[in-house]
Amino acid sequence: MLKANYHTHTTFCDGDEAAERMVQRALELGFGHLGFSGHMDEEIHMDWSAYVAEIARLRETYADRIDILCGVELDTLYDPDSCPGAEYVIGSTHYVDVDVPFSRAVDYGADVSQRLCDECFGGDWYAMCRSYYELEAQVYDRLECTFVGHFDLITRFNDQMQAFDEEDPRYLGPALEAMEHLVRQGVPFEINCGAHNRGRKEELYPRRSLLRALHDFGGQIFINSDAHQATCLNGSFDVAVQRAIECGFTHVNVLAHNARGGVETRQLALDTL
């Protein structure tokens, strides 16, 4: 089993558990590394100083048992200066770049997503997806992120809505263009298990066709649970490892502190997990 997670939410943002409870659960699972990645975006932004202080306290308290990293999940449309000293950055696109008097988040609710599509894109879901991926393609330029989070979050409610065909060229074309551009920039992608491990989506992010394309483009991967509860800290890791192997990947990236206290990327062979 993979024994590391770098997409972890707590009560500092929209998670259900205190940070220390997540550490305790990681220890129960035999984790060697745990990265915290609280949200900083226009709707959810932490008390950054308090967050950093608590993660530092936990790192010191549990130093002989687990490697704890202080990261952030930063949105493409949010200010990267809001999180000084973050040890790694998840670059995520939660919003479409439109001016509306209500939430512009693509993962806020099916009704909100439909309203965004109707009022900003004339009801054309493929136009909305194209706008989303045009913004997604800028995530590294804007944030210099360590890896890309839940690349195809725009599909969050599509299992229930069936609003567009995720294999249609009108959808896949912009997604693949954004993906290839980001791979050329050298930024890895996460396989995000969050919606799957909470029973909200059949597919992981990215879906299988996109994950195969990521491999063919020469991309690299992390595997993360996007845990908001301790019970989900390793949720769907077995599915993600198998899916990665099926799509041609041989290794997964992990982050760890080195002897000098810096953070480095290492690789684990998938067939050992």
Q: What does the pLDDT read at residue 206?
A: 98
Q: How far apart are CA 139 and CA 189, in angstroms?
A: 12
Give the bridge partners for 71, in sequence order.
37, 88
Q: What does the pLDDT read at residue 267?
A: 98
What is the maximum alpha-carbon separation in the chain?
56
Q: How far apart are CA 53 and CA 269, in angstroms?
A: 34
The percentage of residues in the chain with a pLDDT greater than 90, rounded to a whole number, is: 100
Q: What does the pLDDT read at residue 55?
A: 98
Q: How far apart are CA 88 and CA 83, in angstroms?
A: 10
- Kindly report the pTM of this predicted structure: 0.98
| Contact yes or no for 19/12 (Cβ under 8 A) | yes
Q: What number is the average pLDDT over the span 49-67?
A: 98
Please name which of 229, 245, 243, 145 lies closest in space to residue 194, comparing C-alpha atoms: 229
| Contact yes or no for 180/172 (Cβ under 8 A) | no
Please name which of 260, 255, 172, 174 lies closest in space to residue 220, comparing C-alpha atoms: 255
Number of Cα atoms under 13 Å in the Cβ half of residue 257: 17
Q: What number is the average pLDDT over the span 216-226?
A: 98
Q: Which fold has domain 4-272?
A: TIM Barrel (3.20.20)
Q: What does the pLDDT read at residue 119?
A: 98
pLDDT classification of 183: cutoffs 50, 70, 90: very high
Q: How far apart are CA 183 and CA 189, in angstroms?
A: 9
Q: What number is the average pLDDT over the span 34-63?
A: 97
pLDDT classification of 232: cutoffs 50, 70, 90: very high
Write the single-letter amino acid at 159. D
Q: What does the pLDDT read at residue 208?
A: 97
Q: What is the mean pLDDT of the chain?
A: 98
Q: What does the pLDDT read at residue 70?
A: 98
Q: What does the pLDDT read at residue 33?
A: 98
What does the pLDDT look like over 96-154, one tens digit per residue?
A: 999 999 999 999 999 999 999 999 999 999 999 999 999 999 999 999 999 999 999 99
Sequence-distant (6+) residues with CB within 8 A of 109 are 157
Which token pair is 85? 């000293």
